[in-house]
Amino acid sequence: MDDVVASHAAAVRLVRAAEQIKRDFARAIAPSGLSVPAARTLLLIDAPMPMREVSERLACDKSYITRIADELEERGLVRRVSGDDRRVQLLELTPAGTRLRRSLFDAFAATNPVARRLGPADRRALDRTLDLLPPD
Amino acid sequence: MDDVVASHAAAVRLVRAAEQIKRDFARAIAPSGLSVPAARTLLLIDAPMPMREVSERLACDKSYITRIADELEERGLVRRVSGDDRRVQLLELTPAGTRLRRSLFDAFAATNPVARRLGPADRRALDRTLDLLPPD
DNA sequence: TATTGTTATACTCTATAACTATA
DNA sequence: TATAGTTATAGAGTATAACAATA
């Protein structure tokens, strides 16, 4: 029962740490003017990617990707291009998208608490702990 | 630069783990019919607590606590009682609130991945890692 | 018939601002 | 003047359902 309380506290702390990471991320990408999910999508697209795959990787509904793609396309950061299967639309970075993506990576690296506060050994310890928790 | 990628990946994993905890929590409390923030509040109230303190502990605006208190009061789980300072309203559990609170604790303990998948040593390792990350 | 993406709509969580009543 | 709580409103993120085009 002490165990319950300790586990509860640890879970709360873990959630708090995640929220801090998210706040730092939001702050890091704010100058870009992108919404958080649009920035997450931009970071995800390392090569032209079907919108369905984006929705799977972000673990959200496909209808939501339509919005994000609209936002990124209006900003000239991605293009929709048709796949071989003509139902499929791939999101492809424009040159401007590629540049912004790189700068978002740098900004995130500069603020991400995991990068700033954890040394390699600490990070390995974190990885081992996360290995124990269920994926997805 | 490999370091950037590894830190990024670790941060993403940590956020995912937190989201899993939150999903499990939502599933655990679903039978109660309470919203997630109302359930969090119920778990927080171990003794009559000023609404302002609730807002601080949940790290949210005081106006939001008004809503949560309304929900909990309509369900007959808490009462608003005036403090000595007559501006202050304390949230106090009713007997039904006390019973539901206990059952939510049990439900959370049964599903919380931290409790289910991490042994005491693992949890201490997690605590040490979280000590390194910025609080709040 | 199943899948990709779109549209329209609505829900949840949460903040901001303006207010009331105390202190 | 500052603080506790309330009210009204708005915004972000996200889901659901119905649909069109394609497979």
DSSP state of A134: P
What's the token pair of residue A73?
């396309």
Q: Could you read off the pLDDT of B80-120 as tens digits, one per residue?
A: 999 999 999 999 999 999 999 999 999 988 988 999 999 99
What's the pLDDT score for residue A8? 86
Mean of pLDDT values over B39-51: 97
With CB atoms and an 8 Å threshold, state whether B10 touches A125: no
The fraction of chain A above a pLDDT of 90, given in percent, is: 85
What's the token pair of residue B69?
């208190």
Which 3 state secondary structure label does DSSP give A59? coil
Quickly tell me which residue has 């090569």 as its tokens.
Answer: A47
Helix axes A36-44, A62-74, angle to 10 degrees: 90
Mean of pLDDT values over A103-120: 91
DSSP state of A35: -
What's the token pair of residue B98?
């006390």
What's the pLDDT score for residue B58? 93
What's the pLDDT score for residue A136? 64
Mean of pLDDT values over A105-114: 90
Q: Is the pLDDT reported for residue B13 higher than 70? A: yes
Distance CA A94, CA A72 (A): 10
DSSP state of B119: -
Q: For residue B89, say whether its CB is under 7 Å from any atom of strand D.
A: yes
Alpha helices in B1-136 (DSSP H): 2-29, 36-44, 51-57, 62-74, 95-111, 113-117, 120-132
Q: Chain D positions under 7 Å from a protein CB?
A: 3-8, 12-18, 21-23
Q: For residue B4, say whether its CB is under 7 Å from any atom of strand C.
A: no
Distance CA B21, CA B31 (A): 17
Report the residue of A15, A129, A131, A136 to disrupt the B interface, i.e. the one with the largest count of B CBs within 10 Å. Answer: A129
| Cβ atoms of B123 and A10 closer than 8 Å | yes
Can you give the distance from the CA of residue A22 to the C1' of nucleotide D12 in angstroms? 14
What's the pLDDT score for residue A1? 60
Q: Is the pLDDT reported for residue A135 higher than 80? A: no
Please tell me which residue of chain B has the smallest CA distance to A5.
B109
Our CA-based measurement puts residue B42 at a distance from the nearest CA of chain A, in whole angstroms, of 14
| Cβ atoms of B121 and B114 closer than 8 Å | no
Distance CA A17, CA B3 (A): 20
How many CB atoms neighbour CB B94 within 10 A? 15
Which 3 state secondary structure label does DSSP give B48? coil
- Enumerate chain A positions whose Cβ falls within 8 A of a Cβ in B: 3-4, 6-8, 10-11, 13-22, 59, 105, 108-109, 112-115, 117-118, 120, 122-123, 125-130, 132-136
What's the pLDDT score for residue A69? 98
Quickly tell me which residue has 């609170």 as its tokens.
Answer: B101
